[in-house]
Each structure stands twice: as C-alpha cells, then as structure tokens.
Amino acid sequence: MSTAAQTGHGHGHGHGHEHAPRRTWLDSLRHVVTPHSHDAADRVDSTMEASSDGMRALWISLAVLGVTAAFQAVVAVMSGSVALLSDPLHNVADALTAVPVGIAFWLGRRPATRRYTYGYGRAEDVAGVVVVLVILASAVYAGYESIRRLAEPTDVRFLWAVAAAGLVGAVGNEIAAQVRLRTGRRIGSAALVADGLHARTDAITSAAVLLSAGGAALGWRWADPVVGLAITAAIATVTWGAAKQVLARLMDAVDPELVAQATDALAHVDGVVAVDRVRLRWIGHALRAEVDLSVPAGVTIEDAHRTAHAAEHELTHAVPRLTAATVHAHPAQSPATTGR
C-alpha cells in the first residue's frame, strides 16, 4: 500500500512566514474560511509576483548602469584611458545581461503546457549561460585592449574627468548591486543575486580607475594599461564564479542546508516513521520537492494520505521558496520482514 500527495503551495497567503505580506482582518477571516489552499492559482500568483519584482529590479538597475556607462564612455574617448574604456565596456555588458534575465522572467510567468510540463522556469538557467558568455566576451576584449596599450603606451588626458568617471562608475554599480541583491534574495532568484554580486565587483573595479588616474598624474604611462589588466582579471574572476553557479543550477544542485531543513521538518510530522529520501530542485526561482516517507504498517490509505498531506504542508512552510512538493508515503517494513 502506498499513497502520494502532490500539491503546490504559494507563500503569499500568510501562514506566519518571515516574508508573508501584512494581512488585514478581512484577509484573516478569509483565511479561516479557506485555511489551506494548494490550487494552481496560488502557484501562478506567487510566481508572477516574484517575476514582476525581478523585472522591476532589472529595469531600475539597467537604467542606472546605462547612464553610468554612457558617461564613462564619453570620458574614455576624450581621455584615451584604456582602464576607463574597460570599465564602461564591462558596465555595458553588465547592463545588457538584464535582457536575457528579463526574457527568462517573462517566460517563467507562462503556464505549463503538455510539452513543458514543469513550466518555463528553467529559462533562468539558460539566461545564466548567456550572462556568463557576455561577461567572458567583455573580459577578453578588455584584456586585448590593455595588452595593446601596454605595448604602445600613450598619455592619458583629462585626468580629473577620468577620476570622476571612475567614482561615478563605483557609485552606479553599487546602486545596481543593492537593487539586484535585495530583490534576488527576497524572491529566491539565483540569477538575479549573481548579477548583483557581479555589479558589486564592478563597483570595486570602477574605483580602481582612480588608481589609473593617479598613476598617470605621476607620469607613469604604464599605470593605465596595468590597471586595465587588473580590471580584466577581476572580470575573469567574476566570470568563473558566475559560471560555477550556473553549472550548479543546470546540474540541479541545491544548498545542503535546505535538504537538512526539509528532512528535519518532515521527521517531526505525526505519523511519519522515517524520512527515506528528500530531493529538491530549482525551477527558475522556485523550489520543487520529491519526498519518500515511511508510515506505520497497517494504516489505511486515508490515514497514509492524511500523513502525506500534513508532511507536504509542513515542508512548504519550513523550506523557503518551496512552491510544490510530491510526497510518497509507504508502509514501514517490520524487522521480521527485513530479516533483522
């Protein structure tokens, strides 16, 4: 005898969660009348709300980075600074990475079909690959320009403008990083969090442009291309870190702490004899779970199903961003059956 309960759960209707919205007395009354809903509408609403927040963060950061890169590019052309040229080039690439991520958020809002039975959430993983390739291309070009300028050094003009552009780049990237990081962590989007960490690294590399201007002011013609190479190395480091995150998602990797949280929550459910297997996977910025549980031998199908449903209920409340779970309950084997 075995039974399985498969339901979806949206965290937007309030069960005492850390991130639950504030409810009015009318919402509370409505919750008492319908205490626990797992229908498809809840899942769609939760996913659409998260995607909308992600899109808003992308647009804000895109505007900030676009203005920052435009200002730096003008100064780079006027001054001839290769370090400053590397910085707006990277900022433009960073801003353009919002395009595939935005498309992924848009696709993720589409409902599941007979062909894509899990929906389109994995489009975020595809967007992550595109982001890594764009960042890599900017690193290669910035490195090429820096090496070329190191072989043929030239004077940097308008040093005060170069220093100002570096400062503007640092501030602009930090603003973009804050917007992306806060939203990405709130909605559970690894792609948006990675993009935010990328922007924060860009803020540091923008500040490095100040070193280029200082070296040029001292008459060190090699300082500008050397700083450009340092920025290139920083971009390459970010590329490697982002690539590891994207590949981990493609391989369905999750934080082991999430598995431990899920296992601990299931072990405390009444009627659960043992937690046999817990599997988690990210689909976009939402988690799905598949669980195998042992229940006492001889229980009725109704009781087993009730235990499975209670386990799913506890699971979706214990694990952040878990929107759906499939729980399979089967009778525990007795010592006589196992031969122990």
Name beta bridge partners: 291: 278, 327
In a domain, 176, yes or no: yes
Would strands 286-295 and 322-331 be described as parallel, antiparallel, or unpaired?
Answer: parallel
In a domain, 7, yes or no: yes
Percent of the chain with pLDDT over 70: 74
By CB neighbour count within 10 A (0-12 exposed, 13-18 middle, 19+ buried), where does 182 fall?
middle
**Residue 63 in this model has a pLDDT that exceeds 70:** yes
pLDDT digits (tens, 9 = 90+) for 279-330: 999 988 788 999 999 999 888 999 999 999 999 999 989 998 898 899 999 8
Q: What is the pLDDT of residue 270?
A: 93
| CATH number of the domain that residue 110 is part of | 1.20.1510.10
**Residue 41 in this model has a pLDDT that exceeds 70:** no
Do both 70 and 94 map to the same domain?
yes
Do both 156 and 268 map to the same domain?
no
Do both 10 and 80 map to the same domain?
no
In a domain, 179, yes or no: yes
Query: What is the rounded CA–CA span in Å between residue 237 and residue 239?
Result: 5
Do both 144 and 200 map to the same domain?
yes
Following DSSP, what letter does each residue of 21-88 receive, concatenated? PPPPHHHHHHHHHS-----HHHHHHHHHHHHHHHHHHHHHHHHHHHHHHHHHHHHHHHH--HHHHHHH
* Residue after which a domain boundary falls, among 210, 227, 250: 250
| CATH number of the domain that residue 267 is part of | 3.30.70.1350
Q: What is the pLDDT of residue 280?
A: 96
In a domain, 277, yes or no: yes
pLDDT digits (tens, 9 = 90+) for 139-155: 787 788 778 777 776 66
In a domain, 35, yes or no: no
Q: What is the pLDDT of residue 82?
A: 59
Residues 35, 14 contacting (CB under 8 angstroms) = no
Do both 327 and 265 map to the same domain?
yes
* Residue after which a domain boundary falls, among 217, 250, 283: 250
Q: What is the pLDDT of residue 286?
A: 84
Alpha helices by DSSP H, listed for the chain, are 25-33, 40-79, 82-96, 98-108, 123-151, 159-187, 190-217, 223-250, 256-267, 301-318, 335-338
* Residue after which a domain boundary falls, among 189, 219, 250: 250
Q: CB neighbours of 268 closer than 8 A, spacing ≥ 6?
A: 314
Question: Which one is predicted more confidently, 163 or 314?
Answer: 314
Percent of the chain with pLDDT over 90: 19
Q: What is the pLDDT of residue 11?
A: 37
In a domain, 37, yes or no: no
Query: What is the rounded CA–CA span in Å between residue 216 and residue 175?
Result: 28
Do both 129 and 258 map to the same domain?
no
Quick one: DSSP state of residue 111? P
Do both 59 and 172 map to the same domain?
yes
Position 142: which residue type?
A
Do both 217 and 319 map to the same domain?
no
In a domain, 75, yes or no: yes
Do both 132 and 221 map to the same domain?
yes
Give φ, ψ of 14 to 5 degrees: 85, 105
Q: What average pLDDT does range 93-122 have in this prediction?
A: 83
Do both 146 and 95 map to the same domain?
yes
Do both 123 and 150 map to the same domain?
yes
pLDDT digits (tens, 9 = 90+) for 167-216: 888 888 888 888 888 888 787 676 777 778 777 777 777 777 777 667 76
Domain extent at residue 292 = 3-16+254-338
In a domain, 30, yes or no: no
For the entire predicted model, the pTM comes to 0.66
> Which two three-digit tokens encode residue 232?
């290139």
Do both 296 and 280 map to the same domain?
yes
pLDDT digits (tens, 9 = 90+) for 214-264: 776 777 777 777 877 887 887 788 788 878 888 888 899 999 999 999 999
Per the structure, the count of domains in the chain is 2
